[in-house]
Structure 1
Amino acid sequence: MSSRYLIVGVRDVVLLPVSRRKSRTDFGKPGYGGACHRYRFTIYALKTERLPLDREASAAMVGFYLNANKLDSC
């Protein structure tokens, strides 16, 4: 499934919880590391409220737990 547009002005938006976490990037630290040449966003519906990961988790571990707990994605 692919989406090329975002709806503007959507009301009743659920914000991310304050307890959200960022995983370690290819730069070795959590958070945004700069622009890439192509953006691909995937939205996941998970069967758990929180993945069992810490700040040092690699991208491979994040992907493993996302797929293991995925209900659906688009």
Structure 2
Amino acid sequence: MIYPCDAANAVEILRIHYSFAETICRPKERIKAITQGLVAHDRMLADCDGDRKSSDYRRKAPPKFHQ
């Protein structure tokens, strides 16, 4: 199960990659940075979905404490 704090952290990863991509002038490098952000986002959500050890903590913890 993906909890709100997991989703918030994954969205923050996307935001960081997208803001970095905006600073790149070359189109191919910009697309590469956006793609890396999407891959990191998907990987983070997939890892959170399989992690059962800290699921009780993640369900209760707000996003700023779950980093």
In terms of fraction of residues, the more strand-rich structure is 1
Q: State the TM-score, normalized to the length of structure 1.
A: 0.26
In terms of fraction of residues, the more helix-rich structure is 2
For CA contacts below 8 A with separation 6 or more, give which structure has more relative contact order: 2
Q: State the TM-score, normalized to the length of structure 2.
A: 0.27
